[in-house]
Amino acid sequence: QNNQLRAYTLKDGLPQSQVNAIVQDDLGYLWIGTQGGGIARFDGKSFTVWNEKKGLGSNYIHALKFDKNKLYIGTRQGLSVYTKNNFEIHKAPRIYDIEIVNQTAFLSTRQGIYQYSDNKVEKLNSNITS
């Protein structure tokens, strides 16, 4: 019998039991976005937690993306960008998905597609004609 699968719970340090997003960074850490508990970084043994009290824009995480030493966090309140132990908060509609193309983050919301570049979030014009 294979006993290598392990479930992690609140008792292990996970801040909330409902997980909406997981991404792995370049160093191998797992970043876990939860529904109300913020984000947790897992090093293989323990969790480190960030939430609104520690600078995160919202504790409700819907999307995570890691690119070039930046963690992009799609929340209920917009975009949080984590770099060098610091959060940048950018107000936007609730973000459901994030894709990075040429150092520009494209943010999927119910109000349309937004982009994050040059430290600002802007809505893309969807009235394209050919």
Residue 67 pLDDT more than 90? yes
What does the pLDDT read at residue 7?
86
H helices of the chain, where? none
**Could you read off the pLDDT of 70-99 as tens digits, one per residue?**
999 999 999 999 998 899 999 999 999 999
What does the pLDDT read at residue 1?
60
- When pLDDT is averaged across residues 16-44 and rounded to a whole number, the result is 95
Residue 55 pLDDT more than 70? yes
CB atoms under 10 Å from CB of 29, counted, come to 16
| Cα distances (angstroms) measured from residue 93 to each of 50, 52, 77, 117, 123 | 21, 17, 6, 16, 10
- Distance between alpha carbon 78 and the CA centroid of its chain, in Å? 10
What does the pLDDT read at residue 2?
64
